[in-house]
Chains A and B, each alone.
Chain A
Amino acid sequence: MTNKTDQLYITKVINGDTNAFTYLVDNYKDMVFSLAYKMTKSREAAEEISQDTFIKAFKNLIKFKGDSKFSTWLYRIAYHTSLDRIKKDKKTNNTFQMNEITLNQIQSVENILEGIERKERAKIMESCLQKLSDDERAIIWMFYYDELSLKEIIEVTNLSEANIKVKLHRARKKLLTIVKENVEPELINHYGRK
């Protein structure tokens, strides 16, 4: 349904109705902005990337053949525009020490998180996600938040399936380790106050 509606508006834009593009922008601006923000960690940069993404999409709309979903096509532009921006800003990622993860650890982190209010928990997760490297954060966001399939992620990133699977697994492990490190002191504080 969405695909058909998107296509209808895309055809309108190609035929010269610039205002029809507003529908596409309003529909996908938050998705584009969220990905750019997750990748760059900067609101200002993410807003610029969102603008650039839509301008690029507008200019190249005629090249969109409808082989994939419009959202995937747009996602791809946003992803590569964000990568270019990151390269330009030359942000360095910290090296991260990761130990073996046990089932016990996963369960105890989950237990701690369950004891925290949902809003607060989301904040913690957000700040932990920011500590992942740019590409890991992007892949986690695509797979778990925007629920892109592996096939779609391959299309967006141009990486191989095996590479994405490895990155995804590493990112999950890293995320759990970071969350664990972040919530443990909170838990100590929490019980300390009681």
Chain B
Amino acid sequence: MGENKHIKELDAFAKKYVKEIPSEKLSLDFTASLMKKIAIENNAKAFNVKPLITKKGWMLIGAPTLALIFITFFTTEESILKLPKIEFNFLDKLPHINLFDTLSVSNITGYAVLFFGLLFFAQIIFLKKHFDKRFN
């Protein structure tokens, strides 16, 4: 009951004395430093790397691919397209040439190639981190 007593008087009291409180002032360089920050944010936005293929693009590529896989799995031996069959028997009739028969690679060359490959892939991770740092 007593909750709503003297609303008018309390309202007048607050109206009069709260308005007298001086408003807070920001430091003088606030606008300048804020605009600097906004400029940095804007530049970062320009550097934002957009994926070459968007999500929509992936959907457009993925859906037909999946559909194709499912069709090949679930259709019977008979092709739905009824394309003419190409015989590859003629390849057997060609003379065999084995270029790499006589080629032998030493173990040390094998390991060298293997480690070269490993380091090559390791570089990709470092390069990615490096560019991420540059653009953020």
Residues of A whose CB lies within 8 Å of any CB of B are 18-19, 21-22, 25-26, 29-31, 33-34, 37, 43, 46-47, 50-51, 54-55, 58-59, 100-103, 106, 109-110, 113, 118, 121-122, 125-126, 129, 140-141, 143-145, 169, 172-173, 175-176, 179
Q: Which chain B residue lies CB-closest to A145?
A: B18
A129 and B13 form a contact (CB under 8 A): no
Shortest Cβ gap from B18 to chain A (Å): 4
Contacts known (A25-B31, A145-B18); A34 close to B13, Cβ less than 8 A: no
Shortest Cβ gap from B43 to chain A (Å): 11
- Encode B40-63 as 1/0 by CB contact (under 8 A) with A: 011000000000000000000000
Asked if B122 lies at the interface with its beta carbon under 8 angstroms from chain A, I say no
B10 and A54 form a contact (CB under 8 A): no
Shortest Cβ gap from B32 to chain A (Å): 9
Residues of chain B at interface, number, CB under 8 A:
33
Number of interchain pairs (Cβ within 8 Å): 103
Asked if B5 lies at the interface with its beta carbon under 8 angstroms from chain A, I say yes
Shortest Cβ gap from B64 to chain A (Å): 35
Contacts known (A34-B24, A55-B37); A47 close to B30, Cβ less than 8 A: yes
Main secondary structure of the interface of A (DSSP, over half): helix
A21 and B26 form a contact (CB under 8 A): no
Q: How far is the CA of A59 from the CA of B34 in the complex (A)?
A: 13
Q: Which chain A residue lies CB-closest to B27?
A: A47
Asked if B15 lies at the interface with its beta carbon under 8 angstroms from chain A, I say yes
Q: How far is the CA of A164 from the CA of B32 in the complex (A)?
A: 37
- Which residues of B, 1-46, contact A by the 8 Å Cβ criterion? 2-7, 9-11, 13-15, 17-27, 30-31, 33-35, 37-39, 41-42
